[in-house]
Chain A
Amino acid sequence: MRSLRDALITFRRTPLLSALSITTIAFSLFAFGLFGLVALNIREALERIEDRVEIRAFVADGTAPELIVQAAGDIANYPEVLGTKTVSQDEALVRAKKELGDFRDVFEGAVLPASIDVRLKPGFRDPATVKRVSARVKAFSFVDDIRYGEEWIEKLYRLRNIAGIAGIVLGLAFAGVSVIIIGATIRMAVLSRAKEIAIMRLVGATDAYIRRPFLIEGIAKGVLGGLLALLLTYVARTIIDRYLIQTIFFDTKIALLGLLFGALIGLVGSAFSVGRHLRHV
């Protein structure tokens, strides 16, 4: 209770310093949030593309339809497979014409092979799994050829990995900067109360007791900075959404996680800086 009051008193005594530290945390987390938003939207877009990952097994001309249906059923039972669809020669033609739009005349009188289209479950759309399932499907004697766009699947995944790694690296860098900034602001608060702290120790206050209000202050600043960053990110997202491209925003869980992260940054920064002060005095 007293610690909380002490933390609030510090806010009131040094409003400028407190506002400054909250703003710096907010801006660090805002940068983090913006990047997170980009990563989130890239991932979302990738997932949409990934949704279209499909193995198309072309069936040899003249294969009995019931044989194809039976094979499709077997393949659908693979653990990685979400579902299969058989496409007859006629359907293949209709689909090809539809996909090509203006150039549909090309297919006048053409014969396209029938196929079994295999869709994989989410989480099994990575290049290795696609390749493995393809190999199994290809083992059917009547399967002529198999297409799964191996190149672009691999590219897609590489892009996603780069985005992921860049996100983590930049995120950690921003978090590090935030910790340093909050550490510095808490240090200023600690130094402004150095005399008080010295007296506290002299009369027998424990370090834990002395530390507590600063930690609470750090957490509070982290959370407030997080809230401000969330607001800024939301505003930025709304502007981008309205004038540039459609984007999605963090869900409640990620938003809360962001606040928690802000609190953690505040805690770590202040613990670091108070700890250092207490060790050296």
Chain B
Amino acid sequence: MIRFTHVSKSYPRTGTAVDDVSLHIGKGEFVFFTGPSGAGKTTLLKMVYMEERPTSGEVKVSGTSSITAKDREVAKIRRKLGIVFQDFRLLDNRTAEQNVAFALEVTGAPQALIGSKVARALTQVGLSGKGTAYPRELSGGEQQRVAIARALVNDPFLLIADEPTGNLDDRATRGIFQLLREINAGGTAVMMATHNLELIRRQEFRTIEMNRGAVVFDSAEQVAKPVRDI
């Protein structure tokens, strides 16, 4: 589903961000990415949604290659991905509902479908009663739930979460993590970058540790766990 083949990424000013990474993530997998700041986690995730393209090597996402993909194909691929960030990235002047609907509107979804899809996504993240609230009226955890609802509303095959709990207290962190597990249980793969080792330690999910752009540990290789693929 997602395959990195000898992927390196370097920037003219800051040097190498990702250094010769090869890995494969199968359908419906839940994968943690950990490592110190600047280890290359965010760059790695950016290459999945093709915000960045590798300097060398190839990233393949559901058959689309980073080498050949045109802007249009990138847009198309992103409609099948859900992306969540530490800072939520919600539009302040829109309600929770409108924020979620935004993802459908700008991809040309039929107007008639939007209402029901938005309601379903908000219910899924446990915010069915807060659709008309503006982001400033919601707690951090709730705002992240709105962002996740927006990521889910297009029925993605993969949810990318870059430090989704970085701005949240423990309670909210646990809630968000529980939600991501539920989403994963529904068949959506999850790639999550996090600093929160506490969170990882308690889980049996595949963990990939990065340092200075390279993969230094991959639990899938340690434990001979077969990777499901299609």
Binding site for B on A (CB under 8 A): 2, 195-196, 198-207, 209-210
Contact = CB atoms under 8 A, between A and B. Distances in A.
Contacts, number: 47
Contacts of B71: 206-207
Given A198-B89, A204-B75, A207-B75, 4 more contacts: A202-B49, A203-B83, A209-B108, A210-B106
Given A195-B91, A209-B106, A203 B150 contact: yes
Interface in B63-87: 71-72, 75-81, 83
A202 B78 contact: yes
Given A202-B83, A204-B76, A205-B107, A196 B91 contact: yes
B182 interface: no
Interface in B101-128: 102-103, 105-108
B95 interface: no
A207 B73 CA distance: 11
Given A2-B105, A199-B102, A200-B106, A206 B89 contact: no
Interface centre among A200, A203, A205 (most CB of B within 10 A): A203
Contacts of A210: 106
Given A198-B89, A199-B102, A200-B106, A206 B75 contact: yes
Contact of A205 (B75, B80, B81): B75
A95 B61 CA distance: 92
Contacts of B154: 203-204
B91 A202 contact: no
Given A2-B105, A209-B106, A199 B79 contact: no
Contact of B89 (A2, A195, A205): A195
